């Protein structure tokens, strides 16, 4: 992968460092020997210029607004594929045959039940606990039920743990919602698709049959596809770092859920809808645009901006169209959607947003759809975590099966006090 070098001179020492090329996208400078050669670290808080690994899962071109999963454009996958098929693709690298997809779906379907003991964990939470707090706790607790699939060096155990995590997230997420509304948990059904099963466990009640609306199932499945994986984002990097120590996969995914919760990351979908509701009407948009541009005001337009996309987030394009379709099909007119579209129009013509290349991201429109389907805003990031589990699991597998994998251990620029002697209390 190396065809050129860069030269670094420190004092009298000059060393060459290989430039490595991937299939497509920016090359990297292999600096693994830099500290040994120079006694210096690189300095890159927030990792704005750092590749932490090599990966074949997802490619993003932020300038062109391109997102590929194993080479396939997100727009084509969202329109033509299914979340189960995209999950297979991320895990195995190729689109499945019908037999392979049926076999994968059969396996996932038959891992959707959770140990009955797990239901006891929910009763330890207040009914008004944020469902992401429940997800962090319950998913972390999964490792106490599956000691037969925590040996990360056994490929068979890695595969079973991966299937368990993908399969059980909808059940655990639906249970978190049911607990918050005081309704009984519903068991998964093997005669329903992955997404229809989730919708029934969430919105169904024991008192009557629940038949998921195919339009809603399709929209939800599309939303899951759009959230499945996204290169080395903060929560995926968290999962990889946790996994690099040899932690079991359930603990690693719980770490990813905790990181995703932040409003700068997956928590932005909940924050974006709350922001749109706070704005309320189109005439109040200029006030919030001004706040977003004010350096002295910590307010940011939630659902806008991205570390990598300096063009339109291709997921936001699909999400906006899905929002229009769902609202039209459901005969729902949501003033928040009108505020969202007007806010986008105004922001994208404002020099501040143009200069800083701030566009709507995946979180800007998702809340409009999820709210129309009936999810409370607190559940939005839970849904993001549900879908992103397959990406986290695929990235974790890719890392663990890499023979060159080592424990992640960044260094620092130390800015604390130089060495000094202890002063006894009586002399202070």
Binding interface with ligand SDX (CB under 6 A): 230, 233, 264-266, 268, 292, 300-308, 356, 358, 361-363
The one catalytic residue among 306, 313, 334, 350: 306
Q: Identify the burial level of 193 via C-beta atoms within 10 angstroms of its C-beta, where 0-12 means exposed, 13-18 middle and 19 or more buried.
A: middle
Residue 15 phi, psi (nearest 5): -130, 150
- Which residues in 70-208 belong to E strands, given as ranges? 72-73
Cβ–Cβ under 8 Å, residues 34 and 17? yes
Considering the complex, state which of residue 87 and residue 109 has its C-beta at the smaller distance from ligand SDX: 87
Question: Is 363 marked active-site?
Answer: yes
Question: Is 265 marked active-site?
Answer: no
- Which residues in 11-70 belong to E strands, given as ranges? 13-20, 28-29, 58-61, 66-69
Considering the complex, state which of residue 141 and residue 255 has its C-beta at the smaller distance from ligand SDX: 255
Strands 58-61 and 28-29: unpaired
- The enclosing H or E element of 8 equals strand 2-10
Distance in angstroms (rounded) separating the CA atoms of residues 58 and 230: 6
Handedness of CA 220, 222, 223, 224 (dihedral sign): positive
Min dist CB 388 to ligand SDX, Å, is: 7
DSSP string covering 51-63, please?
-----SSEEEETT
Considering the complex, state which of residue 129 and residue 346 has its C-beta at the smaller distance from ligand SDX: 346
Residue whose entry in the numeric block shows the structure tokens 């979340």: 83
Considering the complex, state which of residue 58 and residue 162 has its C-beta at the smaller distance from ligand SDX: 58
Indicate the SS3 state at residue 66.
strand
Q: What residue is closest to ligand SDX based on CB?
A: 305
Considering the complex, state which of residue 114 and residue 301 has its C-beta at the smaller distance from ligand SDX: 301
**Residue numbers annotated as active site:** 306, 363
């Amino acid at each position: 992968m190396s065809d050129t070098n860069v030269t670094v001179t420190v004092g009298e020492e000059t060393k060459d460092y290989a430039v490595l090329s991937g299939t497509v996208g920016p090359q990297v400078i292999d600096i693994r020997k830099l500290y040994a050669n120079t006694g210096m670290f690189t300095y890159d808080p927030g990792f704005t210029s750092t590749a932490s690994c090599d990966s074949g899962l997802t490619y993003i071109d932020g300038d062109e607004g391109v997102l590929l999963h194993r080479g396939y454009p997100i727009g084509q996958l969202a329109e033509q594929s299914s979340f189960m098929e995209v999950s297979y693709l991320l895990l195995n690298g190729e689109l499945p045959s019908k037999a392979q997809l049926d076999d994968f779906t059969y396996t996932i379907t038959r891992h959707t039940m959770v140990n009955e003991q797990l239901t006891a964990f929910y009763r330890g939470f207040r009914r008004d606990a944020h469902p992401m707090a429940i997800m962090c706790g319950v998913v972390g607790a999964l490792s106490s039920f599956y000691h037969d699939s925590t040996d990360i060096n056994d490929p068979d155990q890695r595969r079973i743990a991966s299937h368990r995590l993908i399969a059980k997230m909808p059940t655990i997420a639906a249970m978190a919602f049911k607990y918050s509304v005081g309704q009984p948990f519903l068991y998964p059904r093997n005669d329903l698709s992955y997404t229809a099963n989730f919708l029934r466990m969430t919105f169904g009640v024991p008192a009557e049959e629940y038949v998921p609306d195919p339009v809603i199932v399709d929209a939800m499945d599309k939303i899951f596809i759009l959230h499945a994986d996204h290169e080395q984002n903060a929560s995926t990097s968290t999962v990889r770092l946790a996994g690099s120590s040899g932690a079991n996969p359930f603990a690693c995914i719980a770490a990813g859920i905790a990181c995703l919760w932040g409003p700068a990351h997956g928590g932005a979908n909940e924050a974006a809808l709350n922001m749109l509701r706070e704005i309320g009407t189109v005439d109040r948009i200029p006030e919030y645009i001004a706040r977003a541009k004010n350096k002295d005001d910590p307010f940011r337009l939630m659902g806008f901006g991205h570390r990598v996309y300096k063009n339109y987030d291709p997921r936001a394009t699909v999400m906006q169209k899905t929002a229009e379709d769902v609202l039209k099909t459901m005969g729902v007119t949501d003033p928040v959607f009108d505020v969202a579209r007007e806010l986008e129009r105004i922001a994208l013509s404002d020099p501040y947003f143009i200069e800083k290349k701030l566009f709507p991201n995946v979180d800007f429109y998702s809340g409009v759809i999820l709210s129309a389907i009936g999810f409370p805003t607190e559940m939005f990031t839970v849904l993001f975590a549900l879908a992103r589990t397959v990406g986290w699991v695929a990235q974790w597998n890719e890392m663990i099966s890499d023979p060159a994998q080592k424990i992640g251990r960044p260094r620092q620029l130390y800015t604390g006090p130089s060495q000094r002697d202890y002063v006894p209390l009586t002399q202070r």
